[in-house]
Amino acid sequence: MATSAIGPGFLTQTAVFTNQLAASFGFVILVSILLDIGAQLNIWSVLVVYGKKGQDVANEVLPGMGYLLAALVFLGGLAFNIGNLAGSGLGIQVLFGIPAKQGAAISAAIAILILLGGNSGKWMDVFTKVLGMIMIALTLYVCFSSSPPLGEAVYRSFVPETIDAKAIITLVGGTVGGYISFAGAHRLLDSGMKGVGSLPMARRSAVSGILLASVMRIMLFLAALGVISRGLSLENNNPAASVFQLAAGPLGYKLFGVVLWSAAITSVVGSAYTSFSFMTVFHASMEKWRKPVILVFILVSLLVFILVGQPVQILVFVGMLNGFILPLALAVMLIAAYRLKKQGYHHPRAMFIFGILAVVATTWLSIKAMI
Residue-wise pLDDT tens digits, 104-156: 999 999 888 887 776 656 777 787 788 888 888 888 888 888 889 999 999 99
pLDDT at 46: 92
For 173-177, 221-225, 335-339, which range has the lowest pLDDT when averaged over its residues? Answer: 173-177
pLDDT at 103: 92
Phi, psi of 117 (to 5 degrees): -75, 175
Q: Give mean pLDDT, residues 206-216.
A: 89
For 44-48, 87-91, 145-149, 288-292, which range has the lowest pLDDT when averaged over its residues? Answer: 288-292
pLDDT at 121: 63
Mean model confidence pLDDT for the chain: 84
Q: Per residue in 57-95, pLDDT tens?
A: 999 888 889 898 888 888 878 877 888 898 888 889 888
- pLDDT at residue 32 is higher than 70: yes
- pLDDT at residue 252 is higher than 80: yes
- pLDDT at residue 191 is higher than 90: no
pLDDT at 24: 94
Residue 27's domain comprises 2-370
Q: Give mean pLDDT, residues 319-327.
A: 70
Identify the CATH number of the domain in which residue 241 sits: 1.20.1740.10
CA distance 43 to 328: 12
Structural domain count, the chain: 1
